[in-house]
Amino acid sequence: MIGVPVARLFGIEVRLQLGRVFVIALVAALATVQIAQLDPTVQPAVQWLLGGIVAFGFFLSALAHDMGHAVLARRRGVEVKSIVISFFGGATPLDPASPNPGDELAIAVSGPALSIGLGAVMALGATLLGALDGPALVASQVLVVLAILNLILGLVNLVPAYPLDGGRIVRAFAWRRTGVEREGWRASAAAGRTVSVLVIIGGAALIFVGEVTNGAMVVLSGWFLRLSARAIEERVKVNDLIGDLSVGDVMERDGPTVRPGLTVDTFAEQLLDVEVPVTAIPVLAGEEVIGILGVRQVRRLRAGDRATARVEDVMAKPPRLPMLAPADRLVAAAEQLQRAGLDGLPVLDAGRLVGVLTRRSIGLVVKDRTDARRTRAGAGAPSGGEPSAGDTPARAAPPSPDNGGPGPDPSDT
pLDDT digits (tens, 9 = 90+) for 12-63: 888 887 777 788 888 888 888 877 777 777 788 888 888 888 889 888 998 9
- Region 160-185: mean pLDDT is 91
Q: What is d(CA 201, CA 199) in angstroms, rounded to the nearest whole number?
A: 5
Phi and psi torsions of 155, nearest 5°: -70, -40
Measured in whole angstroms, how far is the alpha carbon of residue 270 from the centre of its chain? 31
* Number of Cβ atoms within 10 Å of the Cβ of 411: 16
How much is the pLDDT for 268? 77
Residues 151 and 211 in one domain: no
Q: What is the dihedral of CA 143, 146, 152, 155, to 10 degrees?
A: -70
Instruction: Please report the pLDDT score of residue 88 as a whole number.
Output: 63
Task: For residue 409, tell me if it sits in a domain.
Answer: no
pLDDT category, 192, cuts 50, 70, 90?
A: very high
In a domain, 394, yes or no: no
Nearest in space to 47 (alpha carbons), one of 35, 30, 29, 59: 35
Let me know whether 254 and 217 are in one domain.
no
Residue ranges of alpha helices (H) inside 243-352 are 247-250, 265-272, 295-299, 311-314, 330-340
pLDDT at 142: 84
User: What confidence tens digit (pLDDT) does each residue in 195-223 have?
Assistant: 999 999 999 999 999 888 888 988 998 99
205 in the same domain as 84 = no
Residue 391 inside a domain? The answer is: no
Distance of CA 239 to the CA centre of its chain: 18
Work out the percent of the chain whose per-residue pLDDT is above 70. 87
Residue 392 confidence (pLDDT): 40
Domain coverage including residue 121: 4-158
Domain end: 102, 130, 158, which one? 158
Closest residue by Cα to residue 99 from 373, 381, 409, 341 = 409
pLDDT on residue 93: 54
Whether residue 284 sits in one domain with residue 235:
no
| pLDDT recorded at residue 346 | 93
Among candidate residues 341, 361, 381, the one where a domain is terminated: 361
One domain for residues 28 and 59: yes
Mean pLDDT on 90-94:
57
Phi and psi torsions of 164, nearest 5°: -65, 160
90: left (phi over 0), alpha (psi -120 to 50) or beta: left
Counted domains in the chain: 3
**Ramachandran quadrant class, 221 (left: phi over 0; alpha: psi -120 to 50; beta: rest):** alpha
Among the ranges 39-43, 88-92, 115-119, which has the highest mean pLDDT value? 115-119
Q: Are residues 305 and 255 in the same domain?
A: yes
pLDDT tens per residue across span 327-337: 998 988 888 88
- Contacts of residue 308, defined as CB under 8 A and 6 or more positions apart, other chains included, come to 263
Question: Which residue from 290, 232, 234 is spatially nearest to 259, judged by alpha carbons?
Answer: 290
Cis peptide before 282 (omega within 30 of 0): no
> Cβ contacts of residue 41 below 8 Å, gap of 6+?
none
Instruction: Let me know: does 66 contact 118? Beta carbons within 8 Å.
Output: no
Would you say residue 365 has pLDDT above 70?
Answer: yes
Asked whether residue 377 is assigned to any structural domain, the reply reads no
| Predicted local distance difference test score (pLDDT) of residue 288 | 92
Q: Are 259 and 183 in the same domain?
A: no
Judgement on whether residues 210 and 233 belong to the same structural domain of the protein: yes
Residue 32's SS3 state is helix
Q: Identify whether 196 is part of a domain.
A: yes
Assign residue 350 the CATH number of its domain: 3.10.580.10
pLDDT digits (tens, 9 = 90+) for 226-238: 998 998 888 788 8
Q: Which of 14-28, 254-268, 336-350 has the lowest mean pLDDT?
A: 14-28
Looking at the fold, whether 232 and 252 belong to one and the same domain comes out as: no
**Residues 10 and 151 occupy one common structural domain:** yes
- Is 403 inside any structural domain? no
Residue 131 banded pLDDT, cuts 50, 70, 90? confident
Of 158, 188, 217, the position where a domain reaches its end is: 158
Q: How far is CA 388 from CA 191, 366, 396, in A?
A: 37, 14, 7
The answer to whether residue 92 sits within a structural domain is: yes
In a domain, 235, yes or no: yes
Q: Is the pLDDT of residue 407 over 80?
A: no
* CA 198, chain centre distance (Å): 24
296 has pLDDT over 80:
yes
* Residue 290 and residue 321 share a domain: yes
- Determine the angle formed by the axes of helices 181-208 and 165-178, rounding to 10 degrees: 150
Is 122 found in the same domain as 263?
Answer: no
